[in-house]
Amino acid sequence: MTAKPVPVPTPETQPFWDGCAEGVLRIQRCADCGRPYFYPRPVCPACGSRNVEWFTASGRATLYSYVINHRPAPGFEDEGPHAIAVVELAEGPRMMTSIVGVPATPETLQLDMPLQVRFERRGDISLPVFGPLEPPGPPGPGEAR
């Protein structure tokens, strides 16, 4: 069976994928106009400045839109119907992703539901995917309530 596609980083996207390998969502913003943006590139799409910097995003997002694909791409045959989604990061930029941890049904996938980034191993790459933002669990020992 064909393997799922594995992204091949380029020099300007390598810091993003390095961040994913470290378990953080590292994206860019303009050091002049302050606007965060995605996908990685060495110029601010809002003002044209080359003075751009990397920062670690919160990993929080909301579900902006999606489809539930019933005709799987090569490598996805075992998935069954699965969500191909676009999420809006808390910082503003949007990215395509998979929604994991919940069944891929219209009932469970509600637009604007809060999500949190997770990472899945794919070849040599850690791929950012999103799952429901877990409600805070019971306090651990010694944790203030």
Partner 1 sequence: MTGVIIAGAAETDRIGRLPDHSTLQLHIEGALNAVADAGLALRDIDGIATVASPGPVQVAHALGITPGWIDGTGVGGTSFLLHVRHAAAAIRAGYARTVLITHGESGRSRVGAAPFRLAASSPPGQFEAPYGTFGPTTTFTIPVLRYMKEYGLTHEQLAYVAVAQRRWAAKNPRAAFRDPITVEDVLASRMVAYPFHLLECCLVTDGGGALVVTSAERAAEFPEPAVHILGTGESSETPMISQMADFTESGAFRLAGRAAFAEAGIGPSDVDHLMIYDAFAHVPIYGLEALGFTGKGEAGPFIADGNTEPGGSLPLNTNGGGLSYTHTGMYGMFAIQEGVRQLRGEAAAQAGDPQISVILGNGGMFATAAVLVLGRHPR
Site residues (vs partner 1, CB under 8 A): 4-10, 13, 39, 64-76, 79, 81-82, 84-86, 94-98, 106, 111, 122, 125, 127, 129
Least distance from partner 1 to the Cβ atom of residue 103, Å? 13
Least distance from partner 1 to the Cβ atom of residue 68, Å? 4
Nearer to partner 1, 12 or 136 (CB): 12
Nearer to partner 1, 2 or 134 (CB): 2
Residue 17 near residue 25 (C-beta atoms within 8 A): no
Least distance from partner 1 to the Cβ atom of residue 5, Å? 4
Least distance from partner 1 to the Cβ atom of residue 4, Å? 7
Q: Is the peptide bond before 39 cis (omega within 30 degrees of 0)?
A: yes
Count of beta carbons in the 10 Å neighbourhood of residue 25: 22
CA separation for the pair 112, 62 (Å, rounded): 5
Residue 118 near residue 130 (C-beta atoms within 8 A): yes
As beta bridge partners, residue 124 has none
Nearer to partner 1, 48 or 86 (CB): 86
Nearer to partner 1, 71 or 145 (CB): 71
48 CB-side CA count, 13 A: 0
Distance separating the N- and C-terminal Cα atoms of the chain: 50
